Amino acid sequence: MPRKKIIALGGDGVGPEVMEVACYILEKAGYALDILKPLCGSEAFQARGNAFPDEAKKLCEESDAILFGAAEGPSVAILVYLRWSMDNYINLRPVKYYPGALSPLKNPEGIDFLLIRENSEGMYPGREGDIPWLAQKMSDYKDPFGRTLDFYGEGKFAIRLITRKGTDRIAKYAVDLARERKSQGFAGKVTCITKSNVLRQSCGFFQKTVEEAVKKSTEIAYEHFHVDDAARRLIRFPRDFDVIVTSNMFGDILADEAGEMVGGLGIAPSACLGGRKPYFEPVHGSAPDIAGQGIVNPTAMILSAKMMLDYLGMKEEALGLEAAVARVYQEKKYLTPDQGGKATTRQFAEAVLKAIK
Ligand code: GGG
């Protein structure tokens, strides 16, 4: 297999720390990857006043895949580019329990499902403004109480977009993934999560579109929950889920909840797919409270790199890396403080590397 060109962008806060050790593992493990680390994020912003210099952007465009750390301040520009300019509309967030991880659930064993967050529309990116401005533009509009918007006076609005194109493509992806999972021995079920009892038009449209996509495929089971009910069911019946599909903000929130169920955000990886170039990032953000202390849990970044290996067709390497992470959790000797351990970020990474070899 030809070597793959990977661009590593650390970003802000703990992003560069988790990226450094993830790349260290990938390089030392001897995988067929050429990893380039252009100046970017907070570091580039301080040096050049630009978190995402053109050289870094160009390298991303020429890459096979991108690893991204975390965004909070300057690196939001990177995130916006990777997600919207590259049109990575799928955010795939696996939720899997590795024995040894510090879950708050009494019995997290066997939790293993996928959460698909629509990544390009809904409430994100924020499309907001002043209510009086909107009231003028929509002077004919009446809300469910028969009021025009000028009734509400000063305040802000946010627009939630659920488009035909955006919903069709994420629904199709969910069905394809459930079918693939079924062939691997999973349930082969799509769970659609909306709030269509309140947001009848936008969530109703999302729900109907997913239902139609599922109906085309007889072998896939289907269920729908409202987001509040789903939040509860995730905790009560976590093993009932297989493939969840939901809109952007619900997915953002539920993925944090789901990540916590299997040991916290330090463990939750993700893949952003469907666009010009895929990128792989931890679900967590920049965690400024622990940045620079050398104690951040790099598992989410390492497992995001595992998803990248999978995507690149390096299946054996992906399995090997995941098995190594699982072993370090099982042994519990080198876990970071968020998992009840005393290991540093670097010590955890060394333990993973040793477990690969
Ligand atoms: N590694 C993911 C990250 O940095 N997330 C920051 C964040 O909250 N981004 C907003 C979003 O995911 O839509």
Q: What is the mean pLDDT of each run of 10 residues along the chain (357 residues)?
A: 96 97 98 97 92 96 98 93 97 98 98 98 96 97 96 98 98 98 97 98 98 94 98 98 98 97 97 98 96 97 98 98 98 98 98 95
Annotated catalytic residue: which of 34, 143, 150, 228?
A: 228
Query: Could you state, in order of their start, the residue ranges of all structural domains in the chain?
Result: 1-89+274-357, 90-123+162-268, 127-159
Active site residue 338: no
Pick the atom of ligand 1 nearest to 91's CA: 12
CA angle 147, 149, 152 (to 5 degrees): 90
Active site residue 252: yes
Pick the atom of ligand 1 nearest to 83's CA: 13
Q: Which residues line ligand 1 (CB under 6 A)?
A: 70-71, 124, 252, 281-282, 284-285
CA proximity to 307, closest of 272, 354, 356, 348: 272
pLDDT at 195: 98
CB 115 within 8 A of CB 251: yes
CB 212 within 8 A of CB 225: no
User: What gap in Å lies between CA 134 and CA 157, rounded to an integer?
Assistant: 8
Omega of the bond leading into 125 within 30 degrees of 0 (cis): yes
3-state secondary structure of 281: strand
Which amino acid would we find at residue 143? D
pLDDT at 357: 79
User: What gap in Å lies between CA 220 and CA 190, rounded to an integer?
Assistant: 7
pLDDT at 264: 97
HSE, side-chain direction, 13 A CA sphere, residue 277: 21
Cα of 1 to ligand 1 centre, how many Å?
33
Cross-strand bridge partners of residue 158 = 128
pLDDT at 337: 98
CATH topology of domain 1-89+274-357: Isopropylmalate Dehydrogenase (3.40.718)
Return the residue whose CA atom lies nearest to atom 5 of ligand 1: 285
CB 124 within 8 A of CB 89: no
Longest dimension (CA), the chain: 68
Ligand 1 pocket, mutate which of 52, 67, 72, 79 (most atoms under 8 A from CB)? 79
Pick the atom of ligand 1 nearest to 119's CA: 13
Do the domains 90-123+162-268 and 1-89+274-357 match in fold?
A: yes
User: What gap in Å lies between CA 24 and CA 8, rounded to an integer?
Assistant: 11
- All residues at 6 or more sequence positions from 322 whose CB lies less than 8 Å from its CB, including other chains: 303, 306
Cα of 72 to ligand 1 centre, how many Å?
7
Annotated catalytic residue: which of 112, 256, 311, 332?
A: 256
Cα of 146 to ligand 1 centre, how many Å?
37
Looking at the whole model, is its pTM more than 0.85?
yes
Active site residue 140: no
- In the chain, what is the straight-line distance between the N-terminal and C-terminal CA atoms, in Å? 21
Active site residue 143: no
CB 268 within 8 A of CB 282: yes
Cα of 282 to ligand 1 centre, how many Å?
9
> Token digits for 302?
């390492």
Residues 90-123+162-268, CATH architecture: 3-Layer(aba) Sandwich (3.40)
Return the residue whose CA atom lies nearest to atom 11 of ligand 1: 252
Active site residue 354: no
User: What gap in Å lies between CA 145 and CA 190, rounded to an integer?
Assistant: 35
